[in-house]
Amino acid sequence: MERLTVAIDGPAGAGKSSAARLVAKRLGYLYIDTGAMYRAFTWAMLQEKIDIGDAEAVRALTERIDIRLEPLEDKCRVFVGEREVTDAIRTQDISSRVSSVSALAVVREKLVQLQRNMAEGGGVILDGRDIGTVVLPKADLKIFLTASVESRARRRYLEVQAKGGTETLEDIAASIASRDDMDSHRAVSPLRQADDAILLDNSELNLEETADAITDLIQQRCR
């Protein structure tokens, strides 16, 4: 079967990464966690105490940073240099900052090139905000995965509760809505559905059902 380049875009909390990872495992594709790469860059900025408004320092970091992904069966390990940051980049502090960092043109230029290099040859699935519109505009299959704010907030709330967190459902919903607005209106590579992307709303689907729908779309495109 032909091995495609698959681009999955959509808002925060739609389950893009989890679904993409599961589909990649099923089909023997390489899953490239682009969101983790931006989180890793954000983490590095915080570690080095670089202000987002310090353009010179940010550019200098893009020139020396080494971000590496190591796919495992159940997740993607993330490294900055030799330090693993897989868990460190998933904090609320990173989540609240990553959208602003990823809107910086110099950061996107650096990471987009890394992502394009990794996607050469096909048999890959990438997810993010601008994969089908900017990173891989000629991807074999583009999917825009979305869900209602209420649905995404409910999922996140259950995750927070399972980890003993104290965020309320209302606070999470407000944060998601704010993130949507920021991602959709940023000057560089805003979140939008590519003209040739297939819309998939998974508000009423669980992870397995979402992965089934994406797998079906890939198989249909191969045929």
- Determine whether the annotation assigns residue 15 to a binding site: yes
Alpha-carbon distance 171 to 92, whole Å?
12
| Complete DSSP assignment for 63-92 | HH--EEEEE-SS-EEEEETTEE-TTGGGSH
Tokens of 181: 């607005």
Q: Does 12 carry a binding-site annotation?
A: yes
Strands 67-71 and 76-80, by their bridges, are antiparallel
d(CA 210, CA 216): 10
* Tally of CA atoms within 13 A in the half-sphere of 80 that contains its CB: 22
> Which H or E run includes 142?
strand 141-146
Are 131 and 139 a contacting pair, CB within 8 Å? yes
8-state DSSP, 29: P
Query: Has 13 been labeled as part of a binding site?
Result: yes
The answer to the question of whether 10 is labelled as a binding residue is yes
Residue 105 annotated as part of some ligand binding site = no
Q: Tell whether 96 is in a known binding site.
A: no
Tokens of 22: 């599961």
Instruction: Return the structure tokens found at 223.
Output: 């045929």
Distance in angstroms (rounded) separating the CA atoms of residues 111 and 205: 31
CA angle 160, 205, 70 (to 5 degrees): 60
Known binding positions for ATP = 10-18
Annotated binding residues, written as ranges, equal 10-18
